[in-house]
Structure 1
Amino acid sequence: MKKLKKIPRFKTEAEERAFWEQHDSSDYVDWSQAESSTLPNLKPSTKTISIRLPEGLLHSLKVEANKRDMPYQSLIKVLLAEDIKEIRKP
């Protein structure tokens, strides 16, 4: 078992983020001792954006969302996520 380095103290979250972007956590943490956990109430953070869509496209989205009994903005998120997943396939 290798000797682990001591995790430094950070003044800000940004400083900590920059540190971990440049360092391998396995030098600081024994991951063989890690345990799985579930976070059932964790919700992904969202950011509000503004997007201009042709009126016909927006109408079509609303009609399709209505067929699926879901808000049209949720349908947009689902469709975008599916397309991104498809684009990232190797």
Structure 2
Amino acid sequence: MSKPAKKLKAVPKFRSDVEAGAFWMSHDAAEYLDLSKAQPVRFAKLRPSTATISLRLPQAMLEELRVLANEKDVPYQSLLKVYLAERIAQERKPARQRRRASV
């Protein structure tokens, strides 16, 4: 005799990848997805392409960045990328809100 099919919860709609990531970090996927039907997937190009740039920073700013990175135990260039990504998202957010309001 087979077990009765488990009722799966509906996967919520996410407004962003960050929101989706936070959700899946705190919820069990087995409650939302039938993992018995999962198939292996191969990600050929997992890392996003990058470009090397030359950037001149004031020495004091670079030293502060290195101190902060050291406190967080991360490379300073990685911390700089995080800060840039956060600021870009912050700057883009008002533009997205304006576009939604006009629709």
TM value normalised by structure 2? 0.48
Choose the corresponding residue for 1:54, options 54, 58, 63: 58
In structure 1, the partner of 2:72 is: 68
Letter in 2 for 1:84: I
TM value normalised by structure 1? 0.55
Q: How far apart are 1:87 and its partner, in Å?
A: 0.3
Q: How far apart are 1:53 and its partner, in Å?
A: 0.2
Tell me, which stretches of 5 or more residues in structure 2 are unaligned? Answer: 1-40, 98-103
Q: How far apart are 1:39 and its partner, in Å?
A: 2.7
In structure 1, the partner of 2:18 is: none
User: Residues 40 and 67 of structure 1: is their aligned pair in 2 closer, same or farther, counting only changes over 3 Å?
Assistant: farther
Name the structure with the higher helix share.
Answer: 2
Where does structure 1 differ by over 4 angstroms across 4 or more consecutive aligned residues? none
Identity %: 54
CA RMSD of aligned residues (A): 1.7
In the TM superposition, 1:1-90 aligns within 5 A as 39=43, 42-89=46-93, 90=97
Tell me, which stretches of 5 or more residues in structure 1 are unaligned? Answer: 1-36
Instruction: Indicate the SS of the match to 1:88.
Output: helix
Equivalenced residues, count: 54
